[in-house]
Amino acid sequence: MTGIADRIAETDRGKVRGTTQGEAISFRGIPYAASPVGELRFAPPQPHAGWSAVREAVHAGPAVPQAASRLEPVMGSRVPDWNEDGSLTVNVHTPLRAFEDSESCPVLVWWHGGGFSSGSGGWDWYDGGRLAALGDIVVVTANYRLGPLGYLYLPESGAANLGPQDQAAVLRWVRENIASFGGDPRNVTVGGQSAGAYSALSLALDPQTSGLVTRVLLQSGPFGLLPQDPRNAAENAEAYLRLLDVPDGADTAKALRALPVEQLLSAYGRLAGQLARPGNAAPPMYPVLGGPGVPRDLHRAVADGALEGKPLLIGTTRDEATAFTAFDPRIHNLTPVGALDLLTGQLGEQAHEVYERYAARLESPTATQVLTAVQTDELFRNDSLRIADHHAAGGNATYVYQFDYRPAEDEHGLGATHCADLPFLFNTFGAYPDSPMLGRPTDAVRALGHTFATAVAEFVTTGSVNDWLPYAPATAARIRHFG
């Protein structure tokens, strides 16, 4: 490794120069694959051609093409920064000491959420510099293709789970290159939040990538969402092609590659509108069962022992589903009958029993509050606990948390909503101005962030956490609460 003054690291495609910020060096916008344009749109990721001069890794690459997130009312809005060309990049944040000493640091490869439809590893929300310095770990974030560009299911045209294929390519890039940034390629935690947690678990379970993963961090994973059935994925793909007036046949991929990406995004938005149901968090396209990266059902893979031997840190926020209901006018004035109708579509004959159980548990609840509580558990908490129960029962190191922080000015009734833990992990409070889920970060709020981030960094480093008893199956007292 070169000296700290140079801030240069060498990858298998060329050298990159980072920038020092505080106690970390950040290398942003490093290509891990060729731009997915032209013949490479709707194709598996291909190697980047490389560069000869030192590449200035000062700015993150563009986000992958996407529409605005439906969680903007919760997290805050963003100025669009996407471009198909140059979008497949990684960002590496390294503690200064990793450039000063020869000892390698543990690595966290962390995936952003966004419902498989939005987000970017290069956004300031997920800047890993402070976490890297705090925990003495190397933090890697990355982009992966989203929406139709990442999850359109046309296997006969080569398009199948391209987003997961991008993520697997990132893990292989880390294995080959992270030592040059002070990271230990044999000590890699894969983690993420929401769709990113779903992705992290998939990578840890898939035989093609599980050997690249040492530990697993899962934040608010929607594990109640089963991988998309291939038949349903094919139906949605056909509906999408009809919206684009593209024939389904031998020339489908060629026709799709010829269209402006804006047209692809517009049609995806229309498809999402056609398929949308109040309270349903599933996007039109997401990882397909049996496709690359998802060879089998995630819960079946866990039950069959595919996660054995990998320490696990898993958790949820207390009020996950308010992010999807608080700003949805279709849900605000639900009657019990309306809420039951929505739950019946998800839970079948159990809907009435579940509704009554939650209504009895809450104090003078509205139908909307009951629906929100049910969906928090059914989509996020229950299956996270099932994964934790099984993993701990097998004697594996398992840590479970619940994030309980709610802003003091909670005018929308969000509570501790989905995504609320993100600024606390990365100490990026300033990146969320006027965000309803955060409110105004006081000294106490920042101290909570330090505690939460320290616990995560300790897990990434050792697979355990100081002063935190490992989880025991069905033992609520072993769940650590933050906030």
Determine what percent of the chain falls in helix, strand and coil, rounding each to the nearest 5.
40, 15, 45
Position 76, amino acid: G
Average pLDDT of the chain is 95
Supply the DSSP string of 188-211, one letter for each residue. EEEEEETHHHHHHHHHHHSTTTGG
Angle between helix 261-275 and 230-244 (nearest 10):
120
The proportion of the chain whose per-residue pLDDT surpasses 90, expressed as a percent, equals 87
Q: What is the mean pLDDT of residues 77-96?
A: 96
Kind plus residue range of the DSSP H or E element containing 130:
helix 129-135
Q: What is the mean pLDDT of residues 218-233?
A: 97
Q: How far is CA 158 from the centre of its chain?
A: 24
pLDDT in tens, 390-440: 999 999 999 999 999 999 999 999 999 999 999 999 999 999 998 999 999
Is the C-alpha dihedral spanning 212, 216, 222, 223 positive or negative?
positive
Q: How far is CA 126 from the centre of its chain?
A: 11
Question: Per-residue pLDDT for 290 more than 50?
Answer: yes
Which of 407, 409, 404, 415 is CA-nearest to residue 369? 415
Question: Per-residue pLDDT for 365 more than 70?
Answer: yes
pLDDT in tens, 278-288: 667 789 999 99
Whole-number Å distance between alpha carbons of 201 and 67: 25
Residue in this structure with the two tokens 């530990």, named with its chain if needed: 215
Q: How confident is the model at residue 339 (pLDDT cuts 50, 70, 90)?
A: confident
Higher-pLDDT residue of 308, 361: 308
Least trusted range by pLDDT, from 149-153, 215-219, 434-438: 434-438
Which of 399, 464, 462, 466 is CA-nearest to residue 184? 462
Residue 255's alpha-carbon distances to 30, 84, 90, 399, in angstroms, are 30, 17, 30, 48
Task: Please pick, among 84, 320, 378, 458, the residue that the annotation labels catalytic.
Answer: 320
How high is the pLDDT of residue 6?
62
Length in residues, the chain: 483
How high is the pLDDT of residue 72?
94
- Do the beta carbons of residue 183 and residue 59 sit within 8 Å? no
Question: Per-residue pLDDT for 333 more than 90?
Answer: no
Residue 37 exposed, middle or buried by CB count within 10 Å (0-12, 13-18, 19+) = middle
- How many CB atoms neighbour CB 116 within 10 A? 28
pLDDT in tens, 252-280: 999 999 999 999 999 999 999 999 876 67
Which of 431, 380, 383, 387 is CA-nearest to residue 403? 380
How high is the pLDDT of residue 45?
98
Question: Per-residue pLDDT for 2 more than 60?
Answer: no
Cβ partners under 8 Å of residue 283, min gap 6:
115, 116, 117, 147, 151, 272
Task: Please pick, among 26, 118, 157, 194, the residue that the annotation labels catalytic.
Answer: 194
Task: Please pick, among 48, 93, 299, 418, the residue that the annotation labels catalytic.
Answer: 418
How high is the pLDDT of residue 222?
97
DSSP state of 471: P
pTM of model > 0.85:
yes
Which of 420, 429, 433 is CA-nearest to residue 447? 429
Is the C-alpha dihedral spanning 126, 132, 137, 142 positive or negative?
positive
- How many CB atoms neighbour CB 53 within 10 A? 7
How high is the pLDDT of residue 3?
46
Alpha carbons within 13 A on the beta-carbon side of 365: 20
Rg (alpha carbons) of the chain, rounded to whole number: 22
- List the 55-56 sheet strands across, edge first: 8-11, 14-17, 55-56
How high is the pLDDT of residue 100?
77
Least trusted range by pLDDT, from 6-15, 47-56, 344-353, 376-385: 344-353
Angle at 314 between CA 372 and CA 470, to 5 degrees: 125
Active-site residue, 418 included: yes
Question: Which CATH fold topology does 8-482 show?
Answer: Rossmann fold (3.40.50)
Which of 174, 170, 140 is CA-nearest to residue 60? 140
- Do the beta carbons of residue 41 and residue 158 sit within 8 Å? no
Active-site residue, 194 included: yes
How high is the pLDDT of residue 279?
62
